């Protein structure tokens, strides 16, 4: 399984008057981890867009377990269980050291510039599969 972890530091701007990070901002942190995952298999999202592929979110969900606070360092781990489907499913675990902060999921469609759903780019599939193989052999 593909996996990557990005660490974000909670910005003051991301907090609200409850004194904790606003729930909607977690989805930006998921994005940061997702970008990181694509980097890690040499498929930067920026390049995918240049090649005419977009990855809009078609479903997202988050369960909040413990608040994230200003200046907290949050490890956002993202896992890609499979590859090759028309849809991309990602699973996230957010932790502050050992404390569980949140669990989340996003589902993405691959679409082209015109918004039409398309098959995932071949380059992405190959690199993701190769990375999964590497992760198995190194385990």
Q: Count CB-CB contacts under 10 A for residue 77.
A: 16
- The single residue among 3, 7, 40, 60 that binds its own copies, judged by CB under 8 A, is 60
Three-state secondary-structure class, residue 28: helix
Which lies closer to its own copies via its Cβ, residue 55 or residue 83? 55
Select the span of 42-50, 81-89, 90-98, 125-133 touching its own copies (CB under 8 A). 42-50
CA distance 111 to 119: 8
Contact flags string 61-90 toward its own copies, x per CB under 8 A: xxxx--x--xx-------------------
Question: 1 is written with which tokens?
Answer: 């399984």
Establish whether 75 is a catalytic residue: no
| Cβ pair 62, 19 in contact under 8 A | no
Stretch that binds its own copies, among 15-23, 76-84, 89-97, 120-128 (CB under 8 A): 15-23
Q: How many CB atoms lie within 10 A of CB 67?
A: 16
As given in the structure block, the two tokens for residue 59 are 């479903």
- Enumerate binding residues for its own copies (CB under 8 A): 11-13, 15-20, 22-28, 31-32, 35, 44-46, 49, 54, 56-64, 67, 70-71, 115
* Residue positions annotated with a catalytic role: 16
């Amino acid at each position: 399984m593909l996996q990557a972890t990005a660490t974000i530091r909670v910005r003051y701007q991301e907090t609200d008057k409850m004194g904790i990070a606003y729930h909607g901002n977690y989805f930006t942190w998921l994005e940061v981890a997702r970008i990181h995952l694509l980097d890690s298999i040499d498929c930067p999202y920026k390049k995918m867009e240049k090649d005419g592929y977009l990855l809009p979110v078609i479903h997202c969900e988050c369960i909040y377990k413990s608040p994230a606070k200003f200046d907290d360092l949050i490890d956002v781990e993202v896992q890609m269980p499979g590859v090759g489907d028309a849809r991309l499913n990602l699973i996230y675990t957010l932790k502050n050291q050992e404390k569980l902060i949140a669990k989340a999921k996003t589902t993405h469609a691959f679409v082209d510039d015109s918004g039409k759903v398309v098959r995932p780019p071949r380059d992405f599939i190959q690199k993701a599969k190769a990375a999964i193989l590497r992760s198995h052999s190194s385990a």
